[in-house]
């Protein structure tokens, strides 16, 4: 599958992500399950002492292929109740799929292509998120 087609398909899938109650939990019929993982991690490069938040990768993957990163808005942060958006992450063209969002310590829900993930940010803590949706191979 070409990179442009993959990016277009991913953009269509992500188009509804910021809408409360919709978003990453939706998938086309017959699509493989979403994959999303997070883990406590050391601070990303360029962060200051005392900073906290989330960073990682947001994108899509086809079978037997490498993950392709998103460009533009690529991750959304909601309050602990998963109702109100409090922040978003942007992925730039020079680093597709890579994001870093500073957040105050607290509980949040991260929405991305790989699904929704509840997290708790500790003071001076960073959480690494890998939010990748598995796309089916084109016929």
Look-up of token digits 């909601």: 78
pLDDT of residue 120: 97
- CA-based nearest residue to 123, from 106, 108, 137: 106
Other CB atoms within 10 Å distance of the CB of residue 108? 23
Query: What is the reported pTM?
Result: 0.68
pLDDT of residue 44: 65
Domains and CATH numbers, the chain: 3-134 (2.60.40.1120)
* 17 class by beta-carbon count within 10 Å (0-12 exposed, 13-18 middle, 19+ buried): buried
Sequential pLDDT tens for the chain (139 residues): 444 444 554 554 444 333 333 333 333 444 444 444 544 555 666 666 678 999 999 999 988 889 999 999 999 999 999 999 999 999 999 999 999 999 999 999 999 999 999 999 999 999 999 999 999 876 6
């Amino acid at each position: 599958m070409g990179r442009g087609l993959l990016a277009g398909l991913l953009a269509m899938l992500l188009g509804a992500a910021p809408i409360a109650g919709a978003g990453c939990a939706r998938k086309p019929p017959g699509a493989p399950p979403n994959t999303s993982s997070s883990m406590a991690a050391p601070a990303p490069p360029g962060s200051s002492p005392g900073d906290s938040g989330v960073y990682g990768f947001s994108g899509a993957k086809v079978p037997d292929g490498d993950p392709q990163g998103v460009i533009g808005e690529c991750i959304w942060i909601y309050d602990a109740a998963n109702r109100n958006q409090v922040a978003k992450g942007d992925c730039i063209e020079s680093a597709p799929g890579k994001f870093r969002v500073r957040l105050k310590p607290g509980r949040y829900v991260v929405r991305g292509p790989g699904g929704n993930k509840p997290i708790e940010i500790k003071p001076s803590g960073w959480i690494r998120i890998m939010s990748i949706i598995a796309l089916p191979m084109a016929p």
